[in-house]
Each structure stands twice: as structure tokens, then as C-alpha cells.
Amino acid sequence: MQKPILQSEASGEANEGAEEGNSMRDMSMGSTATNTKDAAAVTFSEMQEAFKGETTASAKYAAYSKKAEAEGHHQIALLFSAASLSEKTHANNHKAVLEDAGQMVPAITPAFTVKTTKENLQDAIAGETYEITTMYPQFITNAVASKNQFAQISLNYAYKTEQKHKPLYEKALAALDANNVKSLPDVYYVCPTCGNTYDAAPPKRCGISMTSSEKFVRITTIAS
């Protein structure tokens, strides 16, 4: 005959089950908190890396612009000048995310080698390819996991802009190879919010950040 369960025993078992449930829930919550904390740390580290990369790219493209101008490729020099401003915008956005979160903004001394304009274009294409296929997709995924909306916005601005830079460089390289550089645009427009770059008159609003095109920076000369 099965022993009847007394009220006190039932209460004890119920309490024990509740405590076990609470314990499991606490463990689950603790795991989530740890994962979120880890994801945040990864995102801040990657934002620092992105800041370094964009700061270097801005300085490098400015130098590439002067090299192209010296070689007589004015239109390519304008493209590099516009790209330099664009990358500086990305660097400033990444920096703002870090500062807003009280994170360290790394000191960076850009290091790069200026070669021929053709080699510089090839280098730029390789850099943009890495950013749009590997770096920024990974950084954005981790920013989503960390629930850092500011980081997501800044990273997406850069990611979408780099997707536009790559074909601009490829077009310039093709023109250089065909000895037809003068067929390239004589003016570029850069969005001050996200760095979006246009090689023709832009729409009323930026296609990435929706910033009014009236605020765009018009690039017609080489930065000194």
C-alpha cells in the first residue's frame, strides 16, 4: 500500500521543486548576463579595431590622392580624396560610440606604403573587399549579439559605404588600364553623417542615413 503524502511533505517537495526551478532560472539568467557581457567586450574591442582601420584608411587614401595627382591622374586623385573624407567620417563615428560608452579610444599612427596609382587602387580594392566580405559582417553580428545599437548603426554606415567604394575603385582601375582616366567623374559628394559617396549628383536624401544632400561635402579639389 502506498504511503499517503502528508501536507507538510507535499509542501516540502513543492518548495524543493520551486527552489530547483529558481536555481535553474538563476543559472540561465546568469549565463545570459555573462554572454551579453562577453559580447559587449568583443564589440568594444572590434569598435577599437574598426577605428584604427578607418583612421589608417583615411590617411592612406589622402596620400594615394596626392600620388595620383602627381602622376597626372586628377580624376583618380579626386576619388581617393573623397574616400579619405568618407573613411574619416567612419572613424569619427566609431570613436563617438567608444566615447559614449566610456571606452578607451586607441592612439593610432597610420602606417602604410604609397606605391604607383595602379598598385594603390589594387590595394584599396583588396581592403574594401576584406571589409565588406569579412570584417564588417562579423563586427555587425557581434554588435547585434551585444545589443549595442550605436555600434550597429556606426558599423552599418561603414559597411554599406564600403560596398559603394569597391566598384568605384574597380571602375577607376579599369579606366587607368584603358588609358582613359579623363572619362572618370570630376566631382564626388560625401555624406557627412555616414560617409556615403556619390560620383554623380546625389538624391535629395542619402541612401544610407537619409541625411539631406544639401549637407553633403562636394569634392572638386585635392585636399592639401
pLDDT digits over 101-114, tens only? 999 999 999 999 99
What is the rounded distance in angstroms from the CA atom of residue 94 to the CA atom of residue 201? 27
Which one is predicted more confidently, 185 or 7?
Answer: 185
DSSP 142-177: HHHHTT-HHHHHHHHHHHHHHHHHHHHHHHHHHHHH
Q: Give the range of the structural domain holding residue 108, as residue numbers without chain letter.
A: 42-184
For CA atoms 177, 121, 160, 223, give the dihedral sign: negative
- Of 71 and 223, the structure prediction assigns the larger pLDDT to 71
Average pLDDT over the chain, rounded to an integer: 88
Does residue 206 lie within any of the structural domains?
A: no
CA-closest candidate to residue 62, choices 110, 126, 129: 110
In this prediction the pTM is 0.83
Cα-Cα-Cα-Cα dihedral sign, residues 145, 149, 154, 156: positive
Share above pLDDT 70 across residues of the chain, in percent, rounded to a whole number? 83
Using DSSP, state whether 190 is helix, strand or coil: strand
Does residue 200 lie in a domain region?
Answer: no
**Is 139's pLDDT higher than 50?**
yes
Question: The CATH number of the domain where 159 resides is what?
Answer: 1.20.1260.10
Q: Considering the domain boundaries, does residue 11 fall inside one?
A: no
User: At residue 18, what are phi and psi to the nearest 5 degrees?
Assistant: -65, -40
Cβ 130 vs Cβ 182: under 8 Å: no
Q: How far is CA 201 from CA 1, 129, 133, in A?
A: 90, 25, 28
Residue 128 falls inside a structural domain: yes
Q: Do the domain assignments include residue 70?
A: yes
103 belongs to a structural domain: yes
Q: What is the pLDDT of residue 37?
A: 77
Residue 151 placed within a domain = yes
Q: Is residue 132 part of a domain?
A: yes
Q: How many domains does the chain have?
A: 1
Per-residue pLDDT, 114: 98
pLDDT in tens, 62-82: 999 999 999 999 999 999 999
Q: Is the pLDDT of residue 97 over 80?
A: yes
